[in-house]
Structure 1
Amino acid sequence: MPSPIAVIDFETTGISPGQGARATEVAIVLLQGGRVVDRFQSLMRTGAWISPFITQLTGITNAMVAAAPEATAVVREAARFVGAAPMVAHNAAFDRRFWQAELALADLPAPQPFACTVLLSRRLYPQAPSHRLGVLVDYHGLPRTGAAHRALADAEMAAALLARMQHDLRTRWGVAAPDHALLVALQRCARPAVGALLARHAAAPVPPAAA
C-alpha cells in the first residue's frame, strides 16, 4: 500500500503571515492509494481580526473564531494528525507559509516537503482553461464537496484532483508508482521536459512498497 499524503488547506485573515495574517481555519485530508482515509478540520482562535471582506469571502466571522479552540492547540493536533506524511496543497506556496508560521508559533518543526496541484496541473493539463481549483474540478468532472473558500471543502476538492492526477499518471503515462517524490520532481520540471521525465519513470521498476 502506498504511503499516505496529507492534502491541506487554510482559510486566513490575509495573504501572508509575514504581513501579520493568521490562519482562521485548517483542514487536512489524508489520501492513500487514491482514496480518502481520514480528515481533520478546525477553526482556530488567534485573536487576529477578520475583515468584512474575508468574512464575505469565507463565511467565517469574528464570533466563530472567538468560540474556536486556541490556535496552538489546533496546530499541535494537526501536526499529530499529519505525522510524517508529505504534503500537497493547491497553490502550495500560500498554505506552506501558513503551515510553517503556525507551527513555528507552537514551537514545532515543519519538515514536510510540499507538492502543488497548481504547478502539477500546468505540467499535466496545459490545455485546461484555468488552473484554479474550481475550474479544474469542473474540467475533470470531479464532485464539488461544499462551499468554496472553506478549508475542508477546498482540501477535499484538492485531494480529488490529486487522486485524478495520480490515476492519469498511471493510466495515461504508464507511471506505476506516482508517489510524492515524483510529484515534486514533476512540478519542478520545465514543461518541454515533462514527457521525458514521465517516460523515465514509466520505464522504472515498481518499488516493493508500491507493488
Structure 2
Amino acid sequence: MLADSIAVLDFETTGLSPAQQARATEIGVVIVEGGQIVARYQSLMNSGAWVPPFIEQLTGISNAMLRSAPPAAQVMAEVADFVGERPLLAHNASFDQKFWDAELTRVHRRRLQPFACSLLLARRLLPQAPSHKLGNLNQWLGLPSTGQAHRALADAEMAANLTCFMATLLREQHGIAEVSHDLLCSLQKVPAAKMAQALEKLRGQPHS
C-alpha cells in the first residue's frame, strides 16, 4: 500500500518522442489511494497528427478514430485538472514524462511534481523476472488482466497494479513501514548491485 495518493498515467502516441514531432493520441490515468484504484480518466485526443500504419496496428487507434476525438488541448486541460498536484508514475516514465511535459506546455501549463518509474523499480525489486515489459511482468506476477495492451487506460491500470504489488513487497518482505512516492523515486536511482544494501538500511525506518 502506498502512503500517498498518486496518479499513474500512460500515453499512446504517433511516435517515440515529441522532439521528433510525435504527438499523443490517447491518455489514460488512474488515481491510486490505499493500494486501490479510486478514479480513472481516459480519452483519445485529436492533435491533427497522422498515425502511421504500424502504430495503428500496435494500438488499434486509427486516424478515423482521432478525427472524431476531442481536441488535444481540451483533453490535456481536463486531465491536468484531474491529476492536480498528485505525484506521477508511469512504466518507462522517461517516455511518458516527455509527452506529458510537451502536451502540457501546449496548453500553457507545466508539471511541478516528480515522476516515479515502475520499470526502473521492477528492474531493482524484481530482478528475477524474465522480462520487465509491463504486460509480461503483470502476467508473470499473476496480476489481473486490465484489457487490451497498448491502450492507455489498460496500461495505466497495469502499471498501478504492478506498483501496488511492489509497495506490498517493500512492506512485507523488506520491512519498510511506509512506502511513499518519494521513497519510490529514491529507490529507482539506486544501482541494482547496491539494492539489497539500500533496502537493509531502510528496514524498519519510518519514511514520509
2:95 maps to 94
CA deviation digits over 1:86-122, x for unaligned, max 9?
1110110000000000000110011121111111011
1:28 maps to 29
**1:34-45 equivalent positions in 2, closer than 5 A:** 34-45=35-46
| Percent of residue pairs identical | 53
Deviation at 1:206? 5.7
Counterpart residue identity of residue 128, structure 1 = A
Deviation at 1:2? 3.0
2:12 maps to 11
Residue aligned with 1:146, SS: coil
1:132 maps to 133
**1:1-211 equivalent positions in 2, closer than 5 A:** 2-205=3-206
Deviation at 1:192? 2.1
Q: Return the structure number with greater relative CO, CA threshold 8 A, min gap 6.
A: 2
Equivalent residues of 2:7, 2:32 under 8 A apart: yes
Measured in 1, the distance between the counterparts of 2:202 and 2:48 equals 48
Where do 5+ consecutive residues of structure 1 fail to align? none
Measured in 2, the distance between the counterparts of 1:205 and 1:48 equals 48
Measured in 1, the distance between the counterparts of 2:66 and 2:13 equals 11
Deviation at 1:198? 1.8
Deviation at 1:85? 0.6
Q: TM-score, normalised by structure 2?
A: 0.96
CA deviation digits over 1:1-56, x for unaligned, max 9?
93211100000000000000000000001111111010000000100001111111
Measured in 2, the distance between the counterparts of 1:147 and 1:179 equals 29
Where do 5+ consecutive residues of structure 2 fail to align? none
Counterpart residue identity of residue 125, structure 1 = L
CA deviation digits over 1:136-173, x for unaligned, max 9?
00111001111110001101111100010001111000
